[in-house]
């Protein structure tokens, strides 16, 4: 992995959330037909794009799951898709954190830290929030140009859009300030990689006890 200066990393992070915003627009015109498979060696922007796609898919399947005019089987499939995309979204965050940890560890100040101070969330989690905010901004902006609703609806959504844009800007500033803290040795990154229990058949009791409760279900007994 190439060594980056703090300023180069900050520039790359700014490109990351610019990319998220651009991709929301692009994918609403044409969603990728295949999932993205990305390795750490491909770099931050590729990892951000992969993780952002999971949030994009998750957003829209969650919308579908709220419908009341479709068969329950469709809603059940939506719930399964939500579970899958959520797991992949978290996996993507961890990939981003792994990449960033390697870069930040090469900052000279990080090698001299004795007393460590940590942030309340990882950079991967912060970039995930930026991803979700870009989706919120896109969809709230859609509401401000609707012609089939009352003016009060449009004005209320415009106020919400203004808040979302401010939130996006403030979070971006906070991320860049955190890089400055890492560069100065004020803080150091630390990631507790998640142990998602619900998708692990060895850890979820509903999965590892289902066979004993219902032997033979789901098997071909022929």
Low-confidence winner among 21-30, 125-134, 179-188, 202-211 (lowest mean pLDDT): 202-211
What is the pLDDT, as a whole number, of residue 216? 52
User: Over 60: is that where the pLDDT of 214 sits?
Assistant: no
**3-class SS letters over the chain:** CCCCCHHHHHHHHHHHHHHHHHHHHHHHHCCCCCCCCCCHHHCHHHHHHHHHHHHHHHHHHHHHHCCCCCCHHHHHHHHHHHHHHHHHHHHHHHHHHHHHHHHHCCCHHHHHCCCCCCCCCCHHHHHHHHHHHHHHHHHHHHHCCCCCCCHHHHHHHHHHHHHHHHHHHHHHHHHHHHHHHHHHCCCCCCCCCCCCCCCCCCCCHHHHCHHHHCCCCCCCCC
The answer to whether residue 31 is domain-embedded is: yes
Residue of higher predicted confidence among 121 and 213: 121
Residue 197 φ then ψ, to 5°:
-85, -30
For residues 124-128, average pLDDT: 97
The answer to whether residue 173 is domain-embedded is: yes
The model carries a pTM of 0.85
What is the pLDDT, as a whole number, of residue 178? 97
The answer to whether residue 106 is domain-embedded is: yes
Burial class (CB in 10 A: 0-12, 13-18, 19+), 94: middle
What is the pLDDT, as a whole number, of residue 5? 95
For residues 65-90, average pLDDT: 84
How many domains would you assign to the chain? 1
What is the pLDDT, as a whole number, of residue 166? 98
The answer to whether residue 221 is domain-embedded is: no
User: Over 60: is that where the pLDDT of 133 sits?
Assistant: yes
Task: Give the domain range for residue 139.
Answer: 6-213
What is the pLDDT, as a whole number, of residue 218? 44
The answer to whether residue 174 is domain-embedded is: yes
What is the pLDDT, as a whole number, of residue 63? 73
The answer to whether residue 219 is domain-embedded is: no
The predicted-structure confidence for 39-73, as pLDDT tens digits, reads as follows 777 899 999 999 999 999 998 888 787 788 888 78
What is the pLDDT, as a whole number, of residue 220? 43
User: Over 80: is that where the pLDDT of 165 sits?
Assistant: yes
**pLDDT band, residue 207 (cuts 50/70/90):** low
Could you give the percent of the chain with pLDDT greater than 90? 61
The answer to whether residue 220 is domain-embedded is: no
User: Over 80: is that where the pLDDT of 180 sits?
Assistant: yes
**d(Cα 31, Cα 93) in Å, to the nearest integer?**
21
């Amino acid at each position: 992995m190439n060594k980056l200066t703090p300023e180069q990393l900050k520039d790359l992070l700014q490109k990351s959330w610019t990319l998220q915003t651009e991709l929301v627009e692009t994918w609403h015109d044409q969603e990728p037909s295949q999932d993205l498979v990305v390795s750490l060696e491909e770099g931050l922007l590729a990892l951000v794009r992969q993780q952002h796609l999971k949030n994009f898919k998750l957003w829209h399947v969650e919308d579908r799951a709220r419908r009341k005019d479709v068969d329950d089987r469709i809603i059940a499939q939506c719930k399964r898709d939500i579970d899958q995309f959520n797991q992949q979204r978290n996996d993507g965050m961890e990939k981003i954190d792994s990449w960033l940890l390697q870069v930040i560890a090469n900052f000279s100040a990080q090698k001299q830290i004795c007393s460590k101070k940590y942030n309340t969330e990882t950079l991967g989690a912060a970039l995930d929030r930026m991803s979700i905010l870009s989706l919120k901004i896109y969809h709230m902006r859609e509401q401000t140009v609707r012609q089939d609703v009352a003016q009060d609806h449009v004005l209320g959504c415009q106020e919400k859009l203004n808040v979302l844009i401010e939130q996006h800007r403030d979070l971006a500033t906070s991320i860049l300030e955190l890089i400055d803290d890492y560069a100065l040795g004020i803080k150091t990154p630390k990631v507790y990689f998640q142990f998602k229990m619900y998708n692990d058949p060895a850890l979820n009791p509903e999965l590892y006890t289902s066979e004993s409760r219902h032997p033979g279900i789901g098997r071909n007994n022929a």
